[in-house]
Amino acid sequence: MTLTAILAFAMAMFLFSATPGPGFFATTARVLTSGFGAAIGMLIGIRISDLIFLTLALTGMAAATEAMGEMFIVVKLACGTYLIWLGYCMWRQPPPNAEDEPNKARHGLVRSILDGLIVGLSNPKSILFYAALLPSFFDLAAIQAWDIAILTAIVLITPSVVDLFYLIMAANVRRLFRKPRAGQILRRLGAATLTGVGVSIIIDR
């Protein structure tokens, strides 16, 4: 791999990450409803999905994944429906009890990671990005172990920097709504956003 190709891919990854998509709206909704820590868990799940797509692309399986056709449509419908259900549950969630926060934090991390993984794997644009764009930057047949390490670092670090910037802004907005009534409004806004993500995943082609 050449330095020019590496920088070009990093820039493409940055622009792709900076464009709001299902991951952006889902993590923002999680910040608004459950706080910064829960959104970090979801962010970890999305990064895991990125690593899965990168692995598929490097092993030549991305094209097969893209060609799954009807099977992928079923996966999209299932993931979208799950996110709509999560949004519904958030909408009906009662105001949080301060005494319950430690238990929520302890038991919610794994669920947040799984939610992020679902959002990432059900995003068709991510599949297209890795299946079509990655081969245009690099000769995948000639990639060595050191090249894979560089690509992995780019895939993990570049979008995480962008996502953390968005999450910090959303967390600052959440701090402005500390009163119970305002917090309930913000939580329902997050629930509506998460439901919208599920709908967009279902109808996106």
The residue with tokens 């990655």 is: 134
- Tens of pLDDT, residue by residue, the chain (205 residues): 788 888 888 888 888 888 777 788 888 888 877 778 888 999 999 999 999 888 888 887 655 555 555 556 676 677 677 777 777 776 776 655 544 444 444 447 888 898 889 888 877 677 777 777 777 778 777 788 888 899 999 999 999 999 999 899 888 877 766 665 656 666 677 677 767 777 876 776 5
Distance CA 123, CA 153 (A): 21
Which two structure tokens, joined as six digits, stand for 54? 């990168």
pTM, 2 dp = 0.73
Residues comprising the chain, all counted: 205
Return the domain boundaries, the chain.
3-203
Distance CA 161, CA 36 (A): 15
Distance CA 89, CA 35 (A): 16
Per-residue confidence (pLDDT) for residue 47, from 0 to 100: 94
Residue 35 gets which letter from DSSP?
A: -
